[in-house]
């Protein structure tokens, strides 16, 4: 019996949390499905994909829209592109990621009569200030037309409960990357690690200011990621004369080595959908300090038991918690061990199984309807 064909639809496969999840799911689901990834832009994948996964590139000339009319034209082109790909590759079900892509994909899938799962990856409560009102309105009317909506936390699910049927709304958190390997040969160093895009959402400015308050010379702060705030952060590092102690590392492909060599993980986000980097750090047994931002950290960390939760933008408390962990090795070891043992339920095999059950149920429903 031929495998069913499924397609993930995402803006690109650049480095990022949603992209990493798509790569993990694709590489795992290829055992049971023929897997395609439709990107809206034409660019290679930052993440390694199984050679059987087919990456179908999108537009070569996609640029930010200059006005509302050009935005409508672009999104109409993208909807047609998705529709044509769904038909061309005979897709049995598609899975979209991210808000605007979810909306475009749902409309295209309905035209193609293909079942569609959409996946919200950020915090919709915080998105109110960051999402164009045009997409706000469309989301309210288009999301209910999808066959399933996957969210990552119970709190995010609450946002959608008033207008998404409970049968369609499913909570599935992100998986830990199965390719991550702890390197026991590497010795941990006096490094505080942060991973995240260099954007206002991630709050690295607060982290650098908290680190500066420590006034210590034998520890370093390493920040992994790229983004629009890079120059601002570089200027802040220069302002505090921290060039020899704070390092912006850019994108790192083998990030598991950094998780293996660091001693503390500091997470300064102002809001999240689901904090991939925090989950990964806990998986590697790092003692973690995280802002208690919506949504995600409080579902991973029990304050004082397997990590620390602090208020968003609290520079003084962040600095104090870093100092506490720097000075107390036994506390670091204990919190790290508790962190590692508390995230076993996020292993890729357990999370992929939840996705598989959702897919199988949806495909079964559709086949019975058409049968």
Alpha helices in 215-314 (DSSP H): 230-239, 255-261, 276-283, 297-300
Confidence of residue 8 (pLDDT cuts 50, 70, 90): very high
Tokens of 187: 């010795």
- Residue 295 has a pLDDT of 84
> What angle separates helix 276-283 from helix 329-342, to the nearest 10 degrees?
110
Does pTM surpass 0.85?
A: no
- Residue 36 has a pLDDT of 98
- Residue 63 has a pLDDT of 67
* Average pLDDT score over residue span 98-105: 93
Other residues' Cβ atoms within 10 Å of the Cβ of residue 33: 19
Confidence of residue 65 (pLDDT cuts 50, 70, 90): low
Instruction: For 178-241, give the DSSP string.
Output: TT----TTSPP-SEEEEES-SSGGG-HHHHHHHHHHH--SS-EEEEEB--TTHHHHHHHHHHTT
146 burial type by CB count under 10 A (0-12 exposed, 13-18 middle, 19+ buried): buried
Q: Is the pLDDT of residue 173 over 70?
A: yes
Q: What is the average pLDDT score of the chain? A: 91
* Average pLDDT score over residue span 49-72: 82
- Domains along the sequence of the chain with CATH: 4-177+347-370 (3.40.50.2000), 191-345 (3.40.50.2000)
- Residue 127 has a pLDDT of 55
* Average pLDDT score over residue span 46-55: 94
Q: Is the pLDDT of residue 183 over 90?
A: no
- Residue 368 has a pLDDT of 65
Query: Are 26 and 8 within 8 A, CB to CB?
Result: yes
* Average pLDDT score over residue span 291-298: 91
Partners of 331 in the β-ladder: none
Q: Is the pLDDT of residue 45 over 70?
A: yes
Q: Is the pLDDT of residue 302 over 70?
A: yes
């Amino acid at each position: 019996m031929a495998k069913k064909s499924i397609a993930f639809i995402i803006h690109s496969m650049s480095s990022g949390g949603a992209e990493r999840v798509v790569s993990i799911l694709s590489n795992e689901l290829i055992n049971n499905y023929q897997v395609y990834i439709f990107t809206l832009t034409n660019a290679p994948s930052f993440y390694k994909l199984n050679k059987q996964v087919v990456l179908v590139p999108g537009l070569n000339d996609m640029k930010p829209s200059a006005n509302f009319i050009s935005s409508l034209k672009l999104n109409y082109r993208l909807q047609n592109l998705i529709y044509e790909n769904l038909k061309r590759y005979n897709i049995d079900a598609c899975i979209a990621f991210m808000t605007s892509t979810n909306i475009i994909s749902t409309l295209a899938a309905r035209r193609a009569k293909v079942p569609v799962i959409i996946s919200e990856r950020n915090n919709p409560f915080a998105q109110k200030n960051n999402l164009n009102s045009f997409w706000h309105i469309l989301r309210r009317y288009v999301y209910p037309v999808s066959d399933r909506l996957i969210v990552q936390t119970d709190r995010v699910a609450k946002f959608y409960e008033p207008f998404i049927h409970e049968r369609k709304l499913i909570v599935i958190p992100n998986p830990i990357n199965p390719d991550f390997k702890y390197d026991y040969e590497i010795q941990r160093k006096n490094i505080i690690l942060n991973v995240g895009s260099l954007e206002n959402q991630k709050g690295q400015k607060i982290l650098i200011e908290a680190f500066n308050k420590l006034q210590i010379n034998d520890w370093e702060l390493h920040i992994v990621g790229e983004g629009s705030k890079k120059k601002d952060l570089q200027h802040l590092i220069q302002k505090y004369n921290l060039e020899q102690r704070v390092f912006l590392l850019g994108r790192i492909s083998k990030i598991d080595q950094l998780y293996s060599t660091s001693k503390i993980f500091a997470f300064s986000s102002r809001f999240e959908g689901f904090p991939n980097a925090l989950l990964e750090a806990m998986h590697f047994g790092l003692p973690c300090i995280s802002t208690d931002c919506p949504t995600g950290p409080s579902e991973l960390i029990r304050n004082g038991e397997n990590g620390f939760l602090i208020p968003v933008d609290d520079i003084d408390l962040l600095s104090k918690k870093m100092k506490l962990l720097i000075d107390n090795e036994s506390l670091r070891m204990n919190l790290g061990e508790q962190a590692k043992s508390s995230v076993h339920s996020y292993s890729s095999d357990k999370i992929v199984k939840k996705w598989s059950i959702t897919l199988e149920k949806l495909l079964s429903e559709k086949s019975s309807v058409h049968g």
